[in-house]
A and B are shown apart, each in its own frame.
Chain A
Amino acid sequence: MFSYKSKLSLAKATFFQNTPVYVQFYITARCNLTCEQCNIIYANSDVRECSLDEIERIADNFAEMGVAIVLLTGGEPFARKDLPEIIYAFESRGIHVRMQTNGFATEEQIAKAVESGGRDISISLDSLNPEKQDNINGDFSKSWHKALNTMALFTKYLPKKNSFASLGCVFQPKNMQDIEQVVEFGTAASWHTSLVPVHVTDYANPRGFRTFDQSLKFKPEQYESAEYVIEKIRKMRNEGYLLYDSDEYLDNIKLFIKEQSLTWRRRNENICDSPNLYFAILPNGEFSPCCDYRLKNSYPIYNKNFLNTYKNKVWREEVKNVVKNCEGCMYGSYPEITISMRFMQAKLQRIKTFLTSPPKKNWPLTYDFLIEKAESIRNRHETN
């Protein structure tokens, strides 16, 4: 699934933690859903989007910098008409593309995305209860059904070998009793599940991704139930269910929801590894340490001189001054990359997931099969 070049960058990062192996590229802020826990579609709305030409120049710079994986995210990435060309721009330069969707992609779009080289997809799914999912997505009816249809289409077009499919699941009070079901459902479809706890902030401390909706926060009386769910799915993962999250990450989810200090950054003076191992790009192509913070100055990554900027000590100090003041996040990929690069147990788990024991895939799966499977899992859990 990964090119030789990507594997080399990942191996180098494992030893030295100084190669930007992972980049989150917010290619658009536009989205056809308004999920209640997501604020990034508003936070990134104030800048223009890159042109394809600029994205190709970003891909040129990435190839020189040794970027191994680029996540094309949004908004809804499939809202961009030139998504296939964007995927090709990175894949043709040996940079692995992870695609993300809320499930509203059409069959034609999915076929073109895979034809352009996309082999890695993540779809948002928070519950097996259609009404609850539609509500989480901002009260868009049939959005749960569309997500399952999109899952089925990806199993039709993605190759069984050398591909990766996952469900991105936001862990919040509203759906915490459904998480076990989502993991079980994903496993039945040969899809991994990855959790992100809901991130909430207030008006005086705005962050890019974090919602202002205080009602979504875990309350103290819910902590015990939440911890129970985390331990339950950890056990499921150890029994072979396809949960992507590492032990260190699951432990930190428990700390995060109780608003306690996070520990996943402890091997790097309690700051994250941006920009050494990862960073983000705004829709207009400018560098950003992550989805929550921006720099005061503008550094477009499509400029050739970004290669020098990235190595510049003054610029690195500017980034460090931002990230060192961050209380820490649990957005999945950033913590998991730090954990994978700095903790041996997680490193071995990743090698198993991608190289030695990837799941056997019973693809293609039909939409009807997925609906039936979801209903049977949901009914069984409700009866119990």
Chain B
Amino acid sequence: MPKKIKFESFKNHLLINASNTNLITDKNKWKTFIKNLNFKYEGKDFVISSKDNKELILRFNINNAKFYVRGDLNNIQNSSEDSIKIHNKEFFNSIVKILATEAKFL
């Protein structure tokens, strides 16, 4: 079955931001925790659960991330700042913070 591109994009950027975060002190424990996460797509929600912690279930609206903004439709304002990238970075950093808090890393 074809993969769901928004779901896969969401997963990828969550993992990248989780991997680059400076919030966590015990990096090895964090890595093990991340490796044991499960992800699901339910309705419009991206659902995170953990093999290590059955009580941990988090839901995020997938449409709060902005993906695949086209450049060939004359809708791009030339600018050195990519507001889409900045929005996504802040959004996924906030999710990583929630995840780390709920999993008691913070």
| A contact residues vs B (CB 8 Å cutoff) | 28-30, 33-34, 36, 39, 41-43, 45-54, 80-82, 138-140, 202-206, 212, 283-284, 286, 298, 300, 303
Given the interface pairs A39-B12, A41-B5, A138-B3, the reply to whether A53 lies near B78 with Cβ below 8 Å is: yes
Q: Is B72's CB within 8 Å of the partner chain A? A: yes
Contact between A51 and B76 (Cβ–Cβ < 8 Å)? yes
| Cβ-neighbour of B80 out of A43, A212, A303 (below 8 A) | A303
Which of B53-61, B62-70, B93-101 forms part of the interface with chain A?
B62-70
Nearest Cβ in chain A — how far from B47, in angstroms? 15
Cα distance, A139 to B74, chains bound together (Å)? 33
Q: Is B102's CB within 8 Å of the partner chain A? A: no
> What are 29 sample pairs from A and B whose C-beta atoms fall under 8 A apart?
A39-B8, A39-B12, A41-B8, A42-B12, A43-B12, A45-B5, A45-B12, A46-B13, A47-B82, A48-B83, A49-B69, A49-B70, A49-B71, A49-B72, A49-B76, A50-B71, A50-B76, A51-B74, A138-B1, A138-B3, A202-B35, A204-B15, A204-B31, A204-B34, A205-B19, A206-B19, A212-B11, A284-B82, A284-B85
- Write out, one digit per residue, whether chain B residues 25-43 have a CB within 8 A of any chain A CB (1) or not (0): 0000001101101000000
Nearest Cβ in chain A — how far from B76, in angstroms? 4
Task: Give the interface size class of chain B.
Answer: 35 or more
Contact between B78 and A138 (Cβ–Cβ < 8 Å)? no
Contact between B37 and A203 (Cβ–Cβ < 8 Å)? yes
Q: Which of chain B's residues have a CB closer than 8 A to the CB of A82?
A: 72
Most-contacted residue by chain A among B19, B37, B68, B83 (CB, 10 A): B68
Contact between B5 and A203 (Cβ–Cβ < 8 Å)? no
Given the interface pairs A140-B2, A286-B82, the reply to whether A46 lies near B9 with Cβ below 8 Å is: yes
Q: Which of chain B's residues have a CB closer than 8 A to the CB of A48?
A: 69, 71, 76, 82-85
Q: Which of chain A's residues have a CB closer than 8 A to the CB of B88?
A: 46-47
